[in-house]
Chain A
């Protein structure tokens, strides 16, 4: 079975440009998570969805970040406008029900560089 699929794997853009990261969760999973990982701050939860509905977006840094999940098999994380401090690896993860003992399956990540 395919795991969590993320695209693109690498993105290099200039400050001020719009960036869209994409995620396809594992089929049958009801919860989807977006994380950001940097050396300074580690792995931070940005937002998570349950049954396509955003449950907790308190980790979203500011209004420049937005996330959508239009259906059970697709989610996007958009940054507009992007800034150099947004450079990080962005991970998407999915789990069956989002419970605290559920296994989260992570995608390979998107490495974003904002120049």
Chain B
């Protein structure tokens, strides 16, 4: 089983729609990161959240870290075709410094 469960696994929407993807765990994380990966490339960091309840915005993307530091969400407003990709969350627990990744949400935004 994955330390981090991401949902949904696949998401296909039309351009202009809003969406939310989730990253959940039973473990508490010292920090959590979101990455986006495009085909044929490595993941690229979008944001790092470190404080329970923290909300960070990156243009049309809003990231939230749960109060209990066990979960996170990524909300995209007015999705564009360029948002298409694999969205990965990664968390570091207090026991280990290394980041563990979820399986990802594969987002397709259709024109």
Contacts and interface: CB of A to CB of B under 8 A. Distances in A.
Interface of A: 4, 33, 35, 41-45, 48, 55-56, 91, 93, 98-101, 103-109
Given A42-B2, A45-B99, A103-B48, 18 more contacts: A4-B42, A33-B98, A42-B88, A42-B103, A45-B100, A91-B43, A98-B97, A98-B98, A100-B97, A100-B99, A101-B48, A101-B50, A103-B45, A104-B45, A106-B42, A106-B44, A109-B40, A109-B42
A42 B101 contact: yes
Interface string B35-60: 00000111111001010000000000
A16 B26 CA distance: 40
A107 B44 CA distance: 10
3 closest A-B pairs by CB: A106-B42, A100-B92, A42-B103
A44 B102 CA distance: 9
Contact of A43 (B40, B45, B96, B104): B104
B25 interface: no
B42 A91 contact: yes
Interface of B: 2, 30-31, 40-45, 48, 50, 88, 92, 96-104
Nearest to A56: B98
Contacts of A41: 103
B12 to A, nearest CB: 17
Contacts of B43: 43, 91, 106
B22 to A, nearest CB: 15
Nearest to A103: B45
Contacts of A43: 43, 88, 101, 103-104
Given A43-B101, A48-B98, A56-B96, A93 B30 contact: no
Contact of B30 (A100, A105, A108): A100
Nearest to B103: A42
Contacts of B102: 42
